[in-house]
């Protein structure tokens, strides 16, 4: 008889959300390391061998963000459409837009002030104003591609947010039109993936990496993979769903190993590999990882434990703040410490970034997250129903059967309970238990997940 201790009981969605946060934590570390060259130039760093891939894998981190974001945002829109009708996806999109924009606009305000008072800022006023406007209107990726010499370099990485938002506008329209025909929507996304992949390959070969990096049509493959994985959660046949349920942790572990291998390979291949075979392998691995997270995960699995590590998960939850602020802080530090030793300058820059992120998370991100949760919601009014014994129950509890969450959402209620309600009797505690079936743990919790991180203490 096996003596292995039983797995700890957890909310079935908890470990999976932590895994996705940890995955985003890896992504933001890769992005920040790729920009450390702004304070510690590559030619001044010692030879790091295979570890050098960590400092050249910023695009790998962006792909992780795109796949995870496409998955979670699509799940949120689909759930909102089923729950609240046509207004649901619109409210979901609006919440995300407000949550991101308030952080971005705070950065733009700070950059505008610093540009006016900092004599070391190399950008002209017109270049600064044009850059701020392009970022604020989420057209920054297009502006950088067409005005590369005028665009502010400290705002450069924000092209990613513009690409995401442009894609989500199209996704919102598709969800509104095709949410009741999800197989058609999934087929459309699946057909778009090879087209986008071939197009990106062609643009890289004919126009170079710069254009291929900034065009929404060449960078949305990760978003397509993530959105398709979100749809497959509901569309997989029962046999495949059962297999994924049994093998979810190995799938996550195997996909994570592939991602690690791709990161290491960055030390040996140039950016061209990312736009070709390396990028295809990476994006497919990321999509398999997020799909594995849609099924219950064994918290004892090594990959699950590694990705759920609290500090890594916190980095993932705070990744928006880190992403928005790290390059402006790095460039500001470099301008004011040009003669410092690289190690000391890097330490100061990272410490300044950590301080700013902690402040933004505490006084901006958390209040904004709480605020946007109330956007588009109304407080329900539930007048009491008084039974013969004088006890009360809400109209909703008395007239609606319990509904379980999952791919099948058929109402579940016992005949005896329905008869008791029809006669005006109060619901005894035993009868209440009889009306609720055990919640299906498949994909539980994703539709309520705050993409930019849960509120943290």
Domain boundaries, the chain: 14-378, 384-435
Residue 231 in tokens: 């749809």
pLDDT on residue 382? 52
pLDDT of residue 321: 97
| pLDDT above 90 for 164 | yes
Q: What is the pLDDT of residue 445?
A: 47
Q: Could you tell me if residue 444 is left (phi over 0), alpha (psi between -120 and 50 degrees) or otherwise beta?
A: beta
Q: Give yes or no for residue 389 having a pLDDT over 90.
A: no
Average pLDDT of the residues in 54-62: 95
| Six-digit token string for 285 | 């691995």
d(Cα 317, Cα 161) in Å, to the nearest integer?
A: 16
pTM for the predicted model, two decimal places: 0.83
Query: Which CA distances in Å does 402 have to 252, 409, 410, 411, 440?
Result: 33, 10, 9, 6, 13
Give me 402's structure tokens: 């319990």
Highest mean pLDDT among 144-148, 293-297, 410-414: 144-148
Q: Mean pLDDT over residues 116-134, rounded?
A: 97
pLDDT in tens, 305-325: 999 999 999 999 999 999 999
Res 391 pLDDT > 60: no
For the residues 29-46, what does the mean pLDDT come to? 93
Cα torsion for 100, 70, 17, 181, to the nearest 10°? 120
Question: What pLDDT is stored for residue 378 in this prediction?
Answer: 61
pLDDT at site 448: 43
Mean pLDDT of 400-429: 41
Q: Which SS3 state, helix, strand or coil, does residue 402 take? A: strand
Provide the pLDDT confidence category of residue 437 given band limits of 50, 70 and 90: very low
3-state secondary structure of 130: helix
Q: What is the mean pLDDT of residues 419-432?
A: 42
> 61: buried, middle or exposed (CB in 10 Å: 19+, 13-18, 0-12)?
buried
Is the predicted pLDDT of residue 377 greater than 80, yes or no? no
Is the pLDDT assigned to residue 244 strictly greater than 50? yes
Could you give the dihedral angle defined by the CA atoms of residues 353, 289, 100 and 375, in that order, rounded to the nearest 10 degrees?
-140
Contact present, 369 and 99 (Cβ < 8 Å): yes
Segment 150-155 shows an average pLDDT of: 97
Lowest mean pLDDT among 106-110, 337-341, 393-397: 393-397
Q: What is the pLDDT of residue 123?
A: 97
Among all chains, which residue has been given the structure tokens 């409210």? 91
Residue 399 has pLDDT above 70, yes or no: no
Which tokens belong to 408?
Answer: 């099948």
pLDDT tens for 13-26 read 447 889 999 999 99
Q: What is the pLDDT of residue 54?
A: 92
Angle formed by the axes of helices 310-317 and 319-336, nearest 10°:
80
- Torsion angle defined by CA atoms of residues 402, 405, 407 and 411, in that order, rounded to the nearest 10 degrees: 0
Which of 42-51, 263-272, 360-369, 391-400 is predicted with the least confidence, judged by mean pLDDT? Answer: 391-400
Mean per-residue pLDDT of the chain: 84
Q: Is the pLDDT at 449 greater than 70, yes or no?
A: no
């Amino acid at each position: 008889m096996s003596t292995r201790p039983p797995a700890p009981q957890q909310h079935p969605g908890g470990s999976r959300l932590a895994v996705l946060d940890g995955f985003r934590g890896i992504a933001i570390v890769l992005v920040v390391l790729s920009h450390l060259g702004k304070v510690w130039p590559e030619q001044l760093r010692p030879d790091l061998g295979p570890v050098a891939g960590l400092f050249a894998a910023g695009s790998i981190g962006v792909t992780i963000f795109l796949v995870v974001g496409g998955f979670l945002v699509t799940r949120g829109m689909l759930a909102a459409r089923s729950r609240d009708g046509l207004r649901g996806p619109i409210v979901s999109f609006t919440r995300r837009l407000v949550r991101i924009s308030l952080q971005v606009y705070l950065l733009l305000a700070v950059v505008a002030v610093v540009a006016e008072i900092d004599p070391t800022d190399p950008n002209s006023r017109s270049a600064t104003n044009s850059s701020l406007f392009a970022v604020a209107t989420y057209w920054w990726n297009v502006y950088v591609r067409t005005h590369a010499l005028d665009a502010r370099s400290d705002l450069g990485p924000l092209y990613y947010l513009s690409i995401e938002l442009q894609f989500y506008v199209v996704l919102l329209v598709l969800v509104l039109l095709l949410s009741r025909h999800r197989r058609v929507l999934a087929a459309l996304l699946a057909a778009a993936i090879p087209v986008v992949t071939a197009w990106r390959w062609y643009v890289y070969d004919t126009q170079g990496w710069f254009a291929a990096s900034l065009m929404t049509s060449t960078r949305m493959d990760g978003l397509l993979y993530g959105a398709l994985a979100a749809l497959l959660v509901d569309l997989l046949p029962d046999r495949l769903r059962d297999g994924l349920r049994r093998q979810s942790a190995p799938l996550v572990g195997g996909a994570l190993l592939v991602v690690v291998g791709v990161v290491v390979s960055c030390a040996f291949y140039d950016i061209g590999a990312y736009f070709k075979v390396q990028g295809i392998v990476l994006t497919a691995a990321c999509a398999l990882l997020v799909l594995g997270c849609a099924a219950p995960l064994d918290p004892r699995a090594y990959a699950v434990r590694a990705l759920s590590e609290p500090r890594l998960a916190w980095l993932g939850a705070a990744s928006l703040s880190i992403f928005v602020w790290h390059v402006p802080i790095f460039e500001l530090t470099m301008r004011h410490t040009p003669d410092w030793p690289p190690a000391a300058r890097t330490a100061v820059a990272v410490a300044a970034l950590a301080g700013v992120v902690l402040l933004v998370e505490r006084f901006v991100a958390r209040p904004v997250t709480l605020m946007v949760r109330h956007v588009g919601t109304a407080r329900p009014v539930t007048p009491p129903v008084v039974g013969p014994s004088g006890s009360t129950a809400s109209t909703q509890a008395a007239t609606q059967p319990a509904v379980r969450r999952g791919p099948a959402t058929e109402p579940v209620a016992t005949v005896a309970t329905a008869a008791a309600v029809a006669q005006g009797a109060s619901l005894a505690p035993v009868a209440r238990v009889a009306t609720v079936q055990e919640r299906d743990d498949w994909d539980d919790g994703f539709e309520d997940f705050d993409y930019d991180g849960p509120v943290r203490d």
